[in-house]
Amino acid sequence: MSKSDPEESSATSHTDEVAKLTIWQRFKRHMKKWWWVYLIAFICIFLVVFLPIIYVGIPHFANSYINKYQYDETGLSITNPRPTAFHVSQSKKISMGGGFSGSGHLSAFDASIRTSDNREFAIFPVPEIKFGGGADLDIDQDLDLSCIDCLSDLAVSAATDKSFSVLVKGKPNLKLGGLPTAHLNIDKTLSMNGYNVTEFVNSEGAFNITSLDLLQDNEDGYNFNATLALRNPTPFTVEMGHVIFNLSMGGSDLGYVDLPSLMLKQENTSTVVLGKVNETMLVQEALLGSGEFGEVTIDVQGYSCDYNGQNIPYFAAAIKAVSASTTVDLTKYASSLLD
């Protein structure tokens, strides 16, 4: 009778012993022996999958989110214009959406403001923006201009086109909770609605002359003053200053109107208008003209814009781009004119 090999008997015994173990006991024995293999595999998976998400995916998502974000101009005010600067202010809540849940902040950074053809005209220092599902935006500072012609071209586009755009570039840092700091590269196009002033002047309810009075022997040369109620063609407040428009009728010079202190408010604006017109020409056209009785069609051409005696070139460019016609029914103001 032959005897069994001791090694074969030992292997058989080990196999029988393993077979008697539960699944959980076998798993623990396996992990105790091969834990280091799983650790290496986990590290590899983390490096290959999760690190790119944290260091590449999050910045990419943030860049995409910011570059697609539609900026709301509501509450924006442009005041105290000077030849090479103006003051800008805005305070509002920004809805960040589900993509920015949790706490964090966008670091302060210098935003390069450019025309659509990539000409830089200002550096805007954006303050730190803290958020937690939403953000507070508080701006209250001067904006110094480095390219007046660039902003003038932009102002003309805003006053004459149906749409225009501004480029914003910058490199802020984004911190989200406990995640590593993401270094962003913002390259955003802000598309805005244009305010075709020619069409606006002729639109229903654009403006209304609420009072009209004749002046006699005025030392400044004016022969009438009026109060004008007008609708702001822009969604923000703009302090324009002293604005002058030339008037003509049928190709002949009629006179001019002088708005001493024009402030376009977000709601309806009421402003004083002084002017000098050829009264004889105006009355003849109202009584004997080809239009309805009492109606006169006046051509309006922008002439200048200044603030505290200084020419404001970028606003002046927009004003000079205004060329429109409007029809005024003088019978509405007959009592004032007769008085």
Label residue 206 left, alpha or beta by phi (over 0 means left) and psi (-120 to 50 means alpha).
alpha
Q: What is the pLDDT of residue 55?
A: 47
The residue whose two tokens read 């025309």 is: 115
Going by pLDDT thresholds of 50, 70 and 90, the confidence category of residue 331 is confident
Q: Which of 210, 228, 216 is nearest to 332 (CA)?
A: 210
Q: What is the pTM of this model?
A: 0.76
The answer to whether the beta carbons of residues 257 and 223 sit under 8 Å apart is: no
Residues 160-171 have pLDDT tens digits of 877 778 888 989
Q: What was the pLDDT predicted at 1?
A: 45
- Asked if pLDDT for residue 147 goes beyond 90, the answer is yes
Write out the CATH class of domain 198-338: mainly beta
Please check whether residue 224 is in contact with residue 247, taking contact to mean a CB–CB distance below 8 angstroms: no
- Output the DSSP codes for 110-178: EEEEEETTS-EEEEEEEPPEEEESEEEEEEEEEEEBS-HHHHHHHHHHHHHSSEEEEEEEE--EEEETT
Closest CA to 267 of 234, 239, 243, 240: 234
Strands 129-132 and 103-106: antiparallel
Report H helices in the chain: 6-20, 23-45, 51-52, 58-68, 148-160, 197-201, 279-288, 313-320, 334-338
CATH topology match: 77-194 vs 198-338: yes
Q: pLDDT (tens digit, 9 = 90+) per residue, 32-64?
A: 666 666 566 555 554 444 444 444 555 555 666
- Ordered by start, the domain boundaries in the chain are 6-68, 77-194, 198-338
pLDDT in tens, 230-270: 877 777 888 999 999 999 998 999 999 999 999 888 777 88
Name the pLDDT band for 146 (thresholds 50, 70, 90): very high
Supply the pLDDT for residue 241.
Answer: 94
Instruction: Mean pLDDT check: name the lowest of 130-144, 213-227, 256-270.
Output: 130-144
CA 122, CA 144: separation in Å to the nearest integer?
6
CATH number of 77-194: 2.60.40
Token representation of residue 261: 């202190």
Higher pLDDT, 324 or 144: 144
pLDDT category of residue 137 using cuts at 50, 70 and 90: confident
